[in-house]
Structure 1
Amino acid sequence: MDATVIELARTYIGSGQFHFQVSQQGSQLVVQVQLNTDSLYAVGFRHAATWIVAGQFLAYEFNEQAEKELRPLFEVSNALYAFCRNESVLYIGKTTQSLRRRLAGYCRPAQTQATNLRCHTKIKEMLANSEKISILVFTPINQLQYAGFDINLAAGLEDSLIRQFLPPWNGTRQGRAITESAEIEIAEEQMPPEAEGTRQPDIGRFEVQLGITYYNQGIINPGKAASSLLGEHDETLVVRFNDGNPSITTRIDRRANRTGAVRFVGSNHLIADWFQRNFHIGDLVPVRILGSNEVEFIKPNGGEHEKIASR
């Protein structure tokens, strides 16, 4: 086959989000898909941080351009993450804890933590050779349902991504890359709870009155004053709960209201579910603003409800 034809094929099919290896076997043109970081970006992953050495241990630095939006994402559970060198995907994992707590295991692994030790050692080896190892994260906002049941998108994607990418740092079974959960390492994921008194300070507060629509649909309009403390239109917002309910992600929408005030869009049925488990229609829900891209919903101690007097 003419070499020009092969080169044109390389140029054409290599111009998208996937890389391809084009070769000739006899009279056949053979095309092999090479999945890389662009493939993860197409799914919805974001470059969040970079690994660095911190004495005998590891630490990570956030992407400076988007740190204020990315840092709160590390409090989200049910997320995917990947370790990458340039365009190569070296490891893909999922956490049911927050990303912050999960990545801490790679920073200072215990001797019994096989996955943490394996990745920790490999990361340090590459950093010693002046190579850059990036951390990509995927924290889906849009929640899927099947027959009325929520689907964990991160969990659903993990098996498929590992099967397709075959990351070299993932554990193996019969020569195939497998998920971290398949390695039965639940014990190494556990970390001691944060000490009392480490509650994150807030920069502002607002309250949500649970009318019928808010209660049933989980719609949140924090008002103009609170909106001035929140991020830009279409940025990700992390919603935390003080009762231990897993954090979720939503989106800041400044176009839904004529005044330009914020509305939370995305994961609303999960917010509604939390309202319905902890409050009644007419209750007042306090909300702490922890940063421009992070808020915390408060369930009063002892489950006491705060009623708003009828006006």
Structure 2
Amino acid sequence: MELKTIEELNQIGFEKIGEWKINKRGALDYEITTDKTTEVLYSFVKVDNQKEEIIYIGKTIRTIINRLNGYKKPGNSQFTNIRINKEILNLLKSDLNVNIYLFKCNDVITYKSHNINLAAGLEDTLIKYFKPKYNLHGNQRIIDDVELSENLIKLTNDMNDDKNCQNHYLIEKTTTVSNLEGKINLGNVPFSFLPEYGEIINIYLGDIVLQANFINGNNNGGNNPRINCVAIGNWLRENGINVNDNFYIKICNNNSFYFSINKIY
């Protein structure tokens, strides 16, 4: 069956749970039916004279409220949230409606003894088919597989200070061979401190900063939060870090990752 309308998405299991609003302060806000389900798929739908257009599809490992709050009040370095916030505000200021749809699946799908996350698999399929205009990269490839160019940029200011870090999480890692290749697994970090899969993150290596995509390293629908960035491995080796040595990471505001060879306090 070809999926071309909201009605057909409803047949899959998408349900309208609310809509985006502009509050009295002129900022983005939302009204939804509260739902505490995690690992869900969601969609934003523009309504123009009863004509509906799917403009964004995403998934979250947190609750839908947690995810919408990121768009509602994005942090200074949360580029995806800032971009979507601006786009939705522009639509609302043009007297268009933007509805919020939610897909949650309690069915357990198993493949060769592995549980499959149906929402994660559907996101890739629906983005490729619908090509929502606010899903960057989705028209050509699965967003979790996109690795951005790692162009190094010299910092002009020290961004690693407490006033810019509204919430943080400290990590001590024992170096593995994979780490020296630039693969940083973050499965032990609480999801509340991590960005969404596919978001652009900032990586700070001493006096340089670069950007990469935050990805899911599990291709079977599970969760394996990971950074793949060759420059990290190069930086560790250049600073004398070998297998079994310790290095440290400070996560700020969910998507800024500060690496250090010295313990961070």
Q: Which TM-score applies when normalising by structure 2?
A: 0.50
Letter in 2 for 1:127: L
2:177 is equivalent to residue 179 of structure 1: no
Q: How big is the shift at 1:100?
A: 1.1
Give unmatched runs, 5+ long, in structure 1. 1-17, 19-32, 185-190, 194-243, 247-311
2:5 is equivalent to residue 40 of structure 1: no
CA distance in 2, matches of 1:170, 1:245: 22
Match runs of 1:274-285 below 5 Å? none
Q: Which residue of 2 aligns with 1:79?
A: 40
C-alpha spacing 1:115/1:158, structure 2 compared with 1 (3 Å): same
Q: Which residue of 2 aligns with 1:228?
A: none
More helix by share: 1
2:79 is equivalent to residue 118 of structure 1: no
CA distance in 1, matches of 2:54, 2:97: 12
What whole-Å deviation, never above 9, does each CA across 1:66-108 have from its counterpart, x for those lacking one? x4xxx1x2x2211000000132100000001111111100001
What whole-Å deviation, never above 9, does each CA across 1:152-172 have from its counterpart, x for those lacking one? 111111111100110000012
More RCO (CA 8 Å, sep 6+): 2
What whole-Å deviation, never above 9, does each CA across 1:105-154 have from its counterpart, x for those lacking one? 00011231121111111110111111100000001121211222211111
C-alpha spacing 1:53/1:93, structure 2 compared with 1 (3 Å): same
Secondary structure at the aligned position of 2:143 is classed as coil
Match runs of 1:55-94 below 5 Å? 55-62=25-32, 67=33, 71=34, 73=35, 75-86=36-47, 87-94=52-59
C-alpha spacing 1:103/1:192, structure 2 compared with 1 (3 Å): farther
Letter in 1 for 2:89: K
Q: Which residue of 2 aligns with 1:167?
A: 132
2:64 is equivalent to residue 103 of structure 1: no
Letter in 2 for 1:117: I
**What is the aligned counterpart of 2:123 among 158, 174, 192?**
158
Letter in 2 for 1:131: L
CA distance in 2, matches of 1:183, 1:170: 15
CA distance in 1, matches of 2:66, 2:135: 19
Q: Matched residue pairs, number?
A: 150
Secondary structure at the aligned position of 2:81 is classed as helix
Kindly indicate whether the alpha-carbon contact (under 8 Å) linking 1:171 and 1:177 is maintained by their aligned counterparts in 2: no
**What is the aligned counterpart of 2:22 among 44, 48, 53?**
53
RMSD: 3.0
CA distance in 1, matches of 2:72, 2:8: 27
C-alpha spacing 1:47/1:104, structure 2 compared with 1 (3 Å): same
CA distance in 2, matches of 1:80, 1:127: 23
Kindly indicate whether the alpha-carbon contact (under 8 Å) linking 2:39 and 2:61 is maintained by their aligned counterparts in 1: yes
CA distance in 2, matches of 1:110, 1:116: 8
Kindly indicate whether the alpha-carbon contact (under 8 Å) linking 2:13 and 2:103 is maintained by their aligned counterparts in 1: yes
Moved over 3 A (4+): 177-184
Letter in 1 for 2:42: Y
C-alpha spacing 1:183/1:137, structure 2 compared with 1 (3 Å): farther
Kindly indicate whether the alpha-carbon contact (under 8 Å) linking 1:115 and 1:180 is maintained by their aligned counterparts in 2: no
Q: Which TM-score applies when normalising by structure 1?
A: 0.43
